[in-house]
Structure formats: C-alpha cells, structure tokens
Amino acid sequence: MRSLPSVRIMAATLFAMLAFAANSILCRLALRGDHIDAAGFTAIRLVSGAAALWLLLVFRGRRAGRPAAPGRPLVATWISAFWLFLYALAFSYAYRDLAIGTGALILFGMVQVTMILAGLRLGERPDGRQWLGVAIAIGGLVLLVLPGLQAPPPRGAALMALAGCAWGVYSLRGRSNSDPLVTTTANFTCTLPYVMIAGLAVAAGMLAAHRPTTWGIVLAVLSGALASGLGYVAWYMALPGLKATQAAVVQLSAPVLAALVGIMLLSEPASLRLLVAAAAILGGLGLVLRERARRVAG
C-alpha cells in the first residue's frame, strides 16, 4: 500500500484520538447515569458500529462503481474481531467502577506498553533514554493502581488493563491492512457472533432486568457508529504511516482529553495520585517518542 501523505496521516491520527477520548466519555456517561448496563452498551456499540460501516461501504461502492461487500472474512479477520470484542467488553465493564481519567490512563498506558513490547519483538531497539521513558511510564501505571485510599477499584483496573492489551494487539494487527474501511467493517461484522456466543446471551437477561433508557441507547450508538466505527477507520488509515513505537505514544493525547472532560464536566476528582501518575505515564512515554524523533532527525 502506498503511504498516505503526512498531512493525511496527521489528520487521521487527530480524528482517531478525539474518537478514542469520546469513547471513554460516552461509556462513562451511560454507565454512571445508570442509563444502560455494560453488556447492553457493548452489544449496541458493536452492532451500531458494524451497521454504520456497512452503510459507508455501500455508499463508497456505489460512487466507485464496484462491489461494496468486504468479501469472505479470513481467519485473520476473525482473530482481529476477537481482540476487538474482548477490548469492547472489558472496556465497558471496567467503566462501571472507574472515573474517566483513571480509566483512560490505564487503558492507553497498557496499549502503549503492549505496542512498545511488540516493537521490540519486531526489531525496534530503544536507546538508554527510551528505556528510561518506558520505565517511568510503567512506574506511573504501578503508582496509579497501588493499593491505597485513592487507588482505583482492583476489578475495574484489571479489566481496563485487559482492554488496553486487547486494543494494543488489535491496533498492531491493523498496521498491514490495504483498505481501512473494508478491514474495519469486516472486523466489526465478525464481532457479532462473539456478541451472541458470549452473549450476549447473558445480556438478554440483564437487559430484561435493566431496561436501557433512550439516552443510554443514544450514547451507545454514538460510541459505536461515530467514535468506534469512524474512529477506527481513521486509526487504520494512520497506522501504516506510523512505526509501532510512534503509534503507541501518539495515543497519549486521548487520556488527557478524556480526563479533562471528566474533571470539568462531570466533576470527577483530580487527586494528587492521579496527577502524579499521569505526569509519569505521559512524560515517560513522551520521552520515548522524543528520543525516536531525535534519532530519526539525526
């Protein structure tokens, strides 16, 4: 695939980061207000994301005069869909317990650690300062989740860490795609059997006991169709132009945006532990990117 012009890569990356931050905000708004349960939010998010992407694919196919279907899913697509589903499910359940800022920091911290480790496996060799940055960032994550008065609930932190690992693997699997819209549509479509298998059969019972409000459904649809569907297409567009380490660190903006919204609009607490951990995570991983850019320029 020919590389996208740098301006398009930057634009796609910016849109993706805004979408990622929006997902945390929309999910927390829905669950905090008890407008919908976590299982229902996940199911509606994935179904609406798949539907929106199919509409885009059909529209593009008609304009280009070619078939719109993404074709028969391959084994690789089903594997990617599993990681997408695992991320979405763990993400929703984690936000039952976590504030927006805390959840976003754990999520993207684990995403970046996963992708940096993958970069090492692919042959990327950080220098001493980059290793220092990684160590500082991991130390920030450890500080954030250490037991104490202001520590996040262990269950929520563990689920969000799982979501971050799953999203990191999903992102890495998208770096070699040749058509972001087709790939993302196929991935979302293939999550639907996972939704039914894992349920959510259980989700049917939960929804019967906890009927979602109209606002809860709207928030889940916005998360699926806009923040997830279109956001992931933009991310897949940007990924081929980013190295694994760059892709990991560029996501630092998303937890900052999400945390600011949580603090300003939802009056979520900005504890000293959160601020120090955020500075360590963002600063440490920012050092990784700075050193990489310096080495490339040199």
pLDDT in tens, 232-285: 888 878 877 776 666 666 666 777 778 777 777 777 776 777 778 778 877 777
pLDDT at 209: 54
| 8 A C-beta contact, residue 247 and residue 117 | no
What does the alpha-carbon distance between residue 291 and residue 133 come to, in Å, rounded to a whole number?
9
pLDDT at 148: 57
Q: Which two tokens stand for residue 125?
A: 């060799």
pTM metric for this prediction: 0.80
Residue ranges in 174-251 assigned as alpha helix (H) = 180-195, 201-209, 214-221, 231-238, 244-249
Q: Which two tokens stand for residue 172?
A: 């890495």
pLDDT at 113: 81
Helix (H) or strand (E) holding 91: helix 75-94
pLDDT at 4: 47
Per-residue b or e along 123-153, where b marks 16 or more CB atoms closer than 10 Å to that residue's CB:
eeebeeebeebbebbbebbebbbeeeeeebe
pLDDT at 268: 74
Instruction: Give me the torsion for CA of 221, 224, 228, 231, rounded to 10°.
Output: -50
* Residue numbers in the chain where pLDDT is lower than 50: 1-4, 149, 203-207, 296-297
Per-residue pLDDT reduced to its tens digit, 164-177: 999 999 988 876 66
| 8 A C-beta contact, residue 39 and residue 199 | yes
pLDDT at 203: 47
